[in-house]
Amino acid sequence: MTPYIETRGLSFSYEDTDGNLHPALEDVSIEIPRGQFVAVLGHNGSGKSTLAKLINMILIPTKGEIYVDGQLVSSPGEPDEDVIFDVRRRIGMVHQNPDNQIVASVVEEDVAFGPENLGLSPDDIRLRVDASLEAVGMRSYATSSPSRLSGGQKQRVAIAGIIAMLPECIIFDESTSMLDPAGRRDVMNTILSLNRSRGMTIIHITHDMAEAALADRVIVLSDGRVTLTARRTKFSRASRR
């Protein structure tokens, strides 16, 4: 079966102000089946967020290729704007700080932002906004100001904004790292529900072992390279030793 997301020999280097290249990801080849919940673990600077940004086409690889549903979408060189739009419609991304992702002063208006950019009718937007807020348990806050919400609630609003675009996959880029324990729990419950109830493909970038243990599979990065892949049963046994 064709993987939903596949990377082949993926590498990326950042350029400093003097023009020197610093490798962030080197020769990463992974396959993620449709509907799988994958956690990507690693210490700070291991390449986790770089991998997320490459898959979402925020960055373009220095070397290697990215395939989505069997189609080549990213490789070195100037990207195609239509391909970028299609990839970001199919693969949503929730960032570390929800304040950087929320753009409106009212919750329901923020969730409507993505569908509006897709050119949907007002009736369709209304349906998507209501369904997305319901999915993350935030419908009663539809007319609230995001500034009055807790960190976990803001993150759930950010997730609702992505869900409203009906993606096939969501990347969570350390989306729980700034939250208190209650907020982490709320967001992780939302992630699990999206995966188990909707069959959505999930990539969860984290440094939290307990969160990673909930995934179907774990990929560990160190110094920009894959050092371990393990399914949940094997990983869970190892983590308890």
pLDDT at 233: 59
pLDDT at 179: 86
pLDDT at 1: 80
Q: Which residues of the chain have pLDDT under 50?
A: 236-241
pLDDT at 238: 42
pLDDT at 76: 94
pLDDT at 28: 97
pTM here? 0.89
Nearest CA-CA partner of 92 in 197, 14, 164: 164
Q: For the chain, how far is it from start to end, CA to CA, in angstroms? A: 34
pLDDT at 177: 86
Domains in the chain: ranges and CATH: 5-239 (3.40.50.300)
Residue 130: CB partners within 8 Å, gap ≥ 6? 139, 142
Phi, psi for residue 139 in degrees, rounded to 5:
-65, -35
pLDDT at 240: 40
Q: What is the DSSP string of 30-96?
A: EEE-TT-EEEEE--TTSSHHHHHHHHTTSS--SEEEEEETTEEEE-SSPPPHHHHHHHHHHEEEE-S
Render pLDDT for 194-241 as a digit per residue (tens, 0 to 9). 999 989 999 999 989 999 999 999 999 999 999 988 887 555 444 443
